[in-house]
Structures are given as structure tokens and as C-alpha cells.
A = this chain, B = another copy of it.
Amino acid sequence: MTDAIGLGLPERQRRDGLPERVTIWEVGPRDGLQAERTALPASQRVELIRRLAAAGASVIEAGSFVRADRVPQMAGSGDVLAALGDLDARLPVLTPNLRGLDDALAAGAREVAVFLSATERFSEANLGAPKAAAEAAAAAVVRRAVEGGVRVRGYVSMVFGDPWEGPVEPSATTELAERMLEWGASEISLGDTIGVATPGHVHRVVDAHRDRAIPVERLALHMHDTYGQALANVLAGLEAGVRIFDSAVAGTGGCPFARSATGNLATEDLLWMLDGLGIEHGMDLSAIADTGSWLSAQLGRATTSRVARALAGGKEAR
């Protein structure tokens, strides 16, 4: 098979009933890198973001304004933002508290995000506060941001299951979503933090939001690929009308062997499916794959993207 030309792109075959266009919210520089062992300095994160933008990414989560002693991978997020003032892409950053928000605004942030957990145990473990206290803190951040004309995304973690509490009722998520939208958030990202969701579950959760009169345009899906289900779940989300999907170039996001903590959907694999379905997203698969290769080299680890591996194998074979 040495003379095979290979197929660098999927054949375009549309499917009725799916959106014409989606927004990919690239989380690699934040959700991806914050869980990697190797901490990249701000200058390399700036280069990553510039490469992603050059490849067509229009929304790139650029950093997190948290204590550098807790999340050293995100140290210097202010420098990252400040160095990217000329970029056209939207560059949201994570701001877990008012101090983080003020620092982000000072660095030029025009868009921020806050996190809440659908479950009590993860709120305590990850946000360091019971749900009620975490909500109060988030409400203050969202309100101050919105007052300042800054767009806010609200994340909900553990929407599809929790490693301590087990199954999670959709109402636990819809209540948080309603509250965050009331405070002024523009959209809600539904996180399958441990990657356990399956397609019927995605429909149920999206339907639960629709039942609470939350427009599907305001929902994003953030699926982890821990159990290999992320892309099938995105397909279910597309069918349910969702038009915003989170993914991370090269599938960054920590060790694939940690059961409850990892595996972002790789942007490359998502693009292959969207390109095949003829759904517009504005990114260039080949350029994103090159960016993923570059990033994997910086991190000194193999990509988890199957598309990236297949394309690299094809290049070697020629």
C-alpha cells in the first residue's frame, strides 16, 4: 500500500436536520494545558494561541486567573492576554473570583468564564467551597463582569455523572444554568467532566434545559473523551440543536489513565466529523493538525487525536 494517496479530508456528506454552522470553543490553552504535567511559559502559550487563530479558531480560551501556586500551568495569564491585544479572535479567560476578574480586566479581558459544579462533592473538591458558597462567589463575578460590559460564560461541571455521587439529575444543572443566565451570563457550557455520557443522556440534558425555556443557542457542550464517547455525544448534541462545542487541540487535558479527570475531545477529531457533515466552523483541519503536532512536541507527549495520528502516519508512509 505504499503508493496509496491517502485521504487528507473526509468526503462531505450532509445530514438533514443538523445546524449549518457551529462555533468551536477551543479550550486547549486553558482546560487542556492546566491539566498537563509540563507547564508551558506564557510566551509559548501566546504562540499556541496565535497558531490556533491563524488556523481559523475564533474563540480561544486563553488562560485562567487563579493563584499561580495552585495552578502553575496558568501562571502569567495576564501576560498572555496582554500580548494578544492585536488578535481578532475572542479570548475568554477563567475568573473564579472577583480578584481574578479584576486582574483579567486589567490585562484587557473582554470575555470571562466562571465555573460551578452540579454536585456538592465536586464543588467542595474542585472549587473549594460548598455549592451555595460557590454560587454566591460566582454571582458576584458574573454581575460585576456584566456591569462592565464583559461577556460571561458559565460552566457547569459533572453534568452527566460524578465520581463520588454517581448519577446526577438534570435539574441540578438546569437550576444552575437558570441562575447564571439570570445573573447575566450569555451562555452555559455543560461539562461531562469525567466523560461518562452517552448520546441519549445528552438529549435528555439538552431537553431538560429546553423544558426550562433556556434557548438551545445558549448551550455549549463540553465533552471529555475518557470513555471514547465524546464525538458520538457531539453528534447527539448537533441533533438536539446545540451549536457551540468545546474541544482542545491535540486532545490535551492530562493523563488518559486517570479515570476521573481527563481527556478533552481533540479539535482535530471534531473537525473531521464536522467537515464530513458539511457543517461550517471556520477552522482549517490541516492547519489545526499542524498546530496540534507543534503543541505535542512542546509538551513532549503523544497527541490523543486519532486524526492527528492518522495524518502523521500517512506522512511517514509517503
Residues of A that sit less than 8 Å from B by CB: 1, 3-7, 10-11, 13-15, 125, 160-161, 163-164, 166-167, 194-201, 203-204, 225-229, 231-232, 234-236, 255-261, 263, 266, 269, 272-273, 275-278, 305-307, 309-314, 316-317
Contact = CB atoms under 8 A, between A and B. Distances in A.
B259 A228 contact: no
Most chain B CB neighbours (cut-off 10 Å) among A228, A257, A276: A228
A11 B256 CA distance: 21
A240 to B, nearest CB: 10
Contacts of A3: 164
A256 B5 contact: no
B200 A269 contact: no
Contact of A273 (B1, B6, B198, B277): B198
A206 to B, nearest CB: 12
Most chain B CB neighbours (cut-off 10 Å) among A194, A199, A225, A234: A199
Contact of A200 (B229, B260, B277, B317): B277
A19 to B, nearest CB: 13
Given A198-B277, A199-B276, A229-B231, A163 B7 contact: yes
Given A3-B164, A200-B278, A276-B197, A257 B15 contact: no
Given A198-B276, A199-B273, 19 more contacts: A4-B163, A4-B164, A4-B260, A6-B260, A7-B166, A7-B196, A10-B198, A15-B203, A198-B272, A198-B277, A199-B277, A201-B276, A227-B306, A229-B273, A229-B276, A232-B235, A235-B236, A257-B310, A257-B312
